Amino acid sequence: MAAGGGSKAIIAAFLANLGIAISKSVGFVFTGSSSMLAGTIHSVAEVERRVRAVVLIALPMYIEPGFHHNLPGDTAPETAT
């Protein structure tokens, strides 16, 4: 897999899910169908999931290289004495 191929796929899925959410919401407005409303809610949840994935991929680019997260199970960084 080429570098960046995963993020391109996530962005493509985001755009596809966004288009689906918009089309289902338009369908709900015109028909009033409860199944279209349920489909719209599901598609919006998928879009939100893709947004989180993109943020988690992009986040490491904005964190300082020496930044320590202090996650559970992590040990404190060594300090020079």
pLDDT in tens, 21-65: 999 999 999 999 999 999 999 999 988 888 887 787 777 766 666
Domain presence at residue 77: no
Domain presence at residue 2: no
Domain presence at residue 18: yes
Domain count along the chain: 1
Domain presence at residue 72: no
Domain presence at residue 38: yes
Domain presence at residue 53: yes
- Across the range 63-70, mean pLDDT stands at 62
pTM above 0.85, yes or no: no
Domain presence at residue 14: yes
Range of the domain at 40: 10-60
Task: Give the per-residue pLDDT at 12.
Answer: 85
DSSP letters for 26-77: HHHHHH--HHHHHHHHHHHHHHHHHHHHHHHHHGGGGS-TT-----TTPPPP
Domain presence at residue 33: yes
Confidence check: pLDDT of 80 > 60: no
